[in-house]
Amino acid sequence: MTGKSTRAIHGHGYYDKTLGVFKLPIYQTVVFEHPEEGGVPRKGDRGFDLKYSREENPTVRGLERTIAELEEAPYSLAFSNGMSGISTLYLSSLQSGDTVLIGKESYGVTQELALDLSRFGIKTIFGGPETDALIERIDRNVRMVVVETMTNPLLRVLDINRIARRCKETGSRLVVDGTFTTPLLYRPLKNGAWVSLHSTTKYLSGHNDSLGGVVSINSEDDLQELWSMRRKVGSIITPFEAFLCIRGLATLEARFEAQSRTALKLANFLSSHPRIKEVFYPGLKGSPYRKVADRLFERRIYGGVLSFKVKGGQKKVMDVMKKTKVIKPAPSLGGVESLLTYPLLGPAMTMSEKLRQELGIDESLMRLSVGLEDEKDLEADLDAALRSS
Ligand SMILES: Cc1ncc(COP(=O)(O)O)c(C=O)c1O
């Protein structure tokens, strides 16, 4: 298997020869018959034997194999959502006295969680939002660096390859959240990251109907630690959600390509709209991130999320949110339905005013996650909402 769609469709490798079934079933069972021993894995033993679905489940394994194929990673583990993947990773790999460096414009809940770690003697510092400023903060005291390939909500593209080189010099572990780019655009483990993670809730599952997270890792020892913590915390994905994600992954490439094409068209349309002040999308010719995206990404598409500032401030923003008909006002991204988010009341709500100013997030900013509706309908919907009132 070389192509990414082939990997996404067949990566789970399931085949029941007796019945001739090649669709991976939902193994809706908690227990597996296990006559030989009591069932508690030895320390450090991933316990691949199927015993209990908080540890292992065949449908979950199918999802993990598919993700590992896509990422070209030796190991992947699936979690009940993106945050449970991140928190299980923190629990399994950090200890008192460690310092974690987080990108300034990363997902707000990731930042909140890292700050909570101070209760356990783990220090969180922030760096960025641009690559150079982030790299400046990485030194030998930094145990872990957590960054996103494309930032939220302003879609800055970070030069992860350079960040990875710096982490190698300082011995810091680089964790890359590639939720916005998917393994179609960028595969962190191939470029020097320690861990690659995704909220599968977004593009990988892709239908706004299931939660999940995946963590891919190179080292078998680190996998053992992570697996063991997932077992203790109980943060494994359910078989049903794993099934939905496997089903979604089969169409990932077709969806992501179409969403990216529409997003570029809408970004260009909004760039010349009289009610718009500024558009943020790395695929735009004038974007300061186009060059780094073209150098890093495995193909010339730029994802399905864009953001823009409207003339008229918060009142106008609220009006637009109420007036779109096809596009729904809702958080999240990456699904088949187009969603409009107001970052000030969502991803940026917990940020300080000072940080918002530094990043350029203000009351006129809106984020659009482009779905799979017809581009002309989305354009007409936005145009009507922007022009009314
Ligand atoms: C970049 C990024 N990482 C992680 C998460 C958390 O994922 P989940 O909602 O599946 O827990 C989100 C959620 O929006 C996100 O945007």
Same domain, 244 and 256: no
d(CA 110, CA 102): 9
Q: Whose CA is nearest to atom 7 of ligand 1?
A: 82
Number of domains in the chain: 2
Task: Summarize pLDDT for 171-189 with one digit per residue, the tens.
Answer: 999 999 999 999 999 999 9
Chain centroid, CA 163 distance in Å: 18
| pLDDT greater than 50 at residue 43 | no
* pLDDT given at position 351: 82
Same domain, 205 and 69: yes
Same domain, 178 and 274: no
Same domain, 196 and 311: no
Centroid of ligand 1 to alpha carbon of 20 (angstroms): 37
User: 323, 389 in Cβ contact below 8 A?
Assistant: yes
User: 44, 182 in Cβ contact below 8 A?
Assistant: no
Q: Which of 84, 86, 90, 109 to mutate to test the pocket of ligand 1 (most atoms within 8 A of CB)?
A: 109
| pLDDT greater than 70 at residue 47 | no
| pLDDT greater than 90 at residue 36 | no
d(CA 69, CA 73): 7
Same domain, 241 and 257: no
Per the structure, the complete domain to which residue 95 belongs is given by 4-249
Same domain, 36 and 144: yes
Give backbone dihedrals phi and psi of 293, rounded to 5 degrees, phi first. Answer: -65, -45
Task: Summarize pLDDT for 237-270 with one digit per residue, the tens.
Answer: 999 999 999 999 999 999 999 999 999 999 999 9
* pLDDT given at position 389: 66
If pLDDT is split at 50, 70 and 90, which confidence band does 85 have? very high
Cα–Cα nearest to 103, from 167, 182, 158: 158
Among 217, 249, 281, give the residue marking a domain's end: 249
Centroid of ligand 1 to alpha carbon of 83 (angstroms): 6
Same domain, 225 and 361: no
* pLDDT given at position 45: 47
Among 224, 249, 274, give the residue marking a domain's end: 249
Residue % of the chain over a pLDDT of 70: 96
* pLDDT given at position 32: 87
Same domain, 172 and 268: no
Q: Which of 79, 80, 83, 112 to mutate to test the pocket of ligand 1 (most atoms within 8 A of CB)?
A: 83
Q: What is the pTM of this model?
A: 0.96
Q: Which of 201, 237, 350 to mutate to test the pocket of ligand 1 (most atoms within 8 A of CB)?
A: 201
Same domain, 16 and 43: yes
Cβ contacts of 46 within 8 Å, gap of 6 or more: 223, 224, 227, 228
Among 249, 272, 302, give the residue marking a domain's end: 249
Q: Which atom of ligand 1 is nearest to the CA of 180?
A: 1
Continuous H helices in 123-251: 131-136, 160-170, 182-185, 220-233, 239-249
d(CA 120, CA 26): 38
Q: Whose CA is nearest to atom 15 of ligand 1?
A: 107
Same domain, 273 and 243: no
| Residue with token string 């969603």 | 339
Greater confidence (369 vs 389) lies with 369
